Amino acid sequence: MNNRELLKDKKRIVVKIGSSSLTHPETGDINYYKMEQLVRTLADIRGMGKDVVLVSSGAIAVGRKSMGIKPETISQRQALAAIGQAQLMMTYQRLFSEYNQKTAQILMTKSTMIDDLNRKLAQNTFEELLHMGVIPVVNENDTVSTYEIQFGDNDRLSAIVAALIHADLLILLTDQDGMYTDDPKTNPEAEFIDIVPYVNEAYMKMGKSSSSSDVGTGGMKAKMVAARIATGSGADMIITNANHVEKLLNILNGDQIGTLFLSHKDPDFDIMDCLSDDHS
């Protein structure tokens, strides 16, 4: 069996979607069509008997749109995140309920991960929810995290969650089809990469910080950091286009879509190392 066909056997999948994929770039409004497609696809993957976790950004973007305020202070950002996260969750719950799929909210902080007891409790909660057939929706707890104590971005958070719950696949949804040798928006010669056997320094360098959007963080550089964490923890990782989210089903059927990063379980893998700022 080739590496793509092995994806059929994945049992525990973390999917991450960013703010810029969840909102219309023209207005900042929620892209309901995309959110609907995502929810339906995840409910189907769950229906196939797999454990599914969704890491969703969008709290600040949705809060900002809702209140019509561009945050200027940390407390404003945090207030908007509190407003937006509740709205985001309400929308997810409504959409998931259309497919009889239960969902739950887990808000993570870096301190939850650093503290041994808190980390263990978070892990237990994930296990229990997955055992119940629930799809947890995860975000950083932006209302209490400040710059010094935050994960950084949700690409990294999703990789840390994948490591925490021993997922065997992490899927990052983004605004391009996968990874290229250079930024395809600025370099027409950039070539698509189908498979990354090992995230070495050359790939880290290729991952340019290409996110120009002001509603999310991330970009390819952040995705390479996530790839290092996820593959080192023992999960494969895929970067694919959020515009065709229904194709996740084809990916899980072994079709050649997106860029596949092969897991490379590091015997010395320690989740604490992934929390330090210089992990890149």
Using CA atoms, how far apart are residues 134 and 104, in angstroms rounded to an integer? 7
Query: CB 134 → ligand GLU: shortest distance, Å?
Result: 20
Q: Which is nearer to ligand GLU, 10 or 65 (CB)?
A: 65
Residue 153 binds ligand GLU (CB under 6 A): yes
- Minimum gap (Å) between residue 81 Cβ and ligand GLU: 6
CA–CA dist 6, 97 (Å, integer): 31
List CB contacts of 270: < 8 A, sequence separation 6 or more: none
Pairing of strands 192-193, 179-180: antiparallel
Binding of residue 59 to ligand GLU (CB under 6 A): yes
Which residue number, 6 or 144, has a Cβ lying nearer to ligand GLU?
A: 144
CA distance 40 to 187: 35
Q: Which is nearer to ligand GLU, 7 or 81 (CB)?
A: 81
Q: Per CB under 6 A, does 141 bind ligand GLU?
A: no
Choices 99-107, 138-146, 159-167, 181-189 (CB under 6 A): range interacting with ligand GLU: 138-146
The yes or no reply on residue 217 touching ligand GLU (CB under 6 A) is: yes
State the minimum distance, in angstroms, from the CB of residue 194 to ligand GLU. Answer: 26
The region that residue 183 occupies, defined by phi over 0 for left and psi between -120 and 50 for alpha, beta otherwise, is beta
Binder among 154, 158, 176, 240 for ligand GLU (CB under 6 A): 154
Among 12, 19, 39, 274, binds ligand GLU (CB under 6 A): 19
Which positions ≥6 away from 58 have C-beta within 8 Å? 17, 18, 19, 22, 23, 30, 84, 88, 139
The DSSP 8-state label assigned to residue 67 in this structure reads H
The beta strands (E) that lie in the chain are given as 12-17, 51-56, 103-108, 135-140, 169-174, 179-180, 192-193, 195-196, 236-241, 259-261
- Contact mark string toward ligand GLU, 78..117, x via CB under 6 A: ---x------------------------------------
In terms of Cβ atoms closer than 10 Å to its own Cβ (0-12, 13-18, 19+), residue 233 is buried
DSSP tag of 278: T
Residue 139 near ligand GLU by CB under 6 A: yes
Q: Which stretch binds ligand GLU (CB under 6 A): 24-32, 47-55, 197-205, 216-224?
A: 216-224
Work out whether 140 is an interface residue with ligand GLU (CB under 6 A): yes
User: What one-character DSSP code corresponds to residue 168?
Assistant: S
Minimum Å distance from CB 6 to ligand GLU? 29
How do strand 103-108 and strand 192-193 relate by DSSP bridges?
unpaired
* Candidate residues 21, 37, 57, 240; the one interacting with ligand GLU per rule CB under 6 A: 57
Task: Compute the least distance from the CB of residue 197 to ligand GLU, in Å.
Answer: 27
The answer to whether residues 30 and 52 touch, using CB atoms and an 8 Å cutoff, is: no
Q: By CB under 6 A, name the binding residues for ligand GLU.
A: 18-19, 57-61, 81, 139-140, 142, 153-154, 216-218
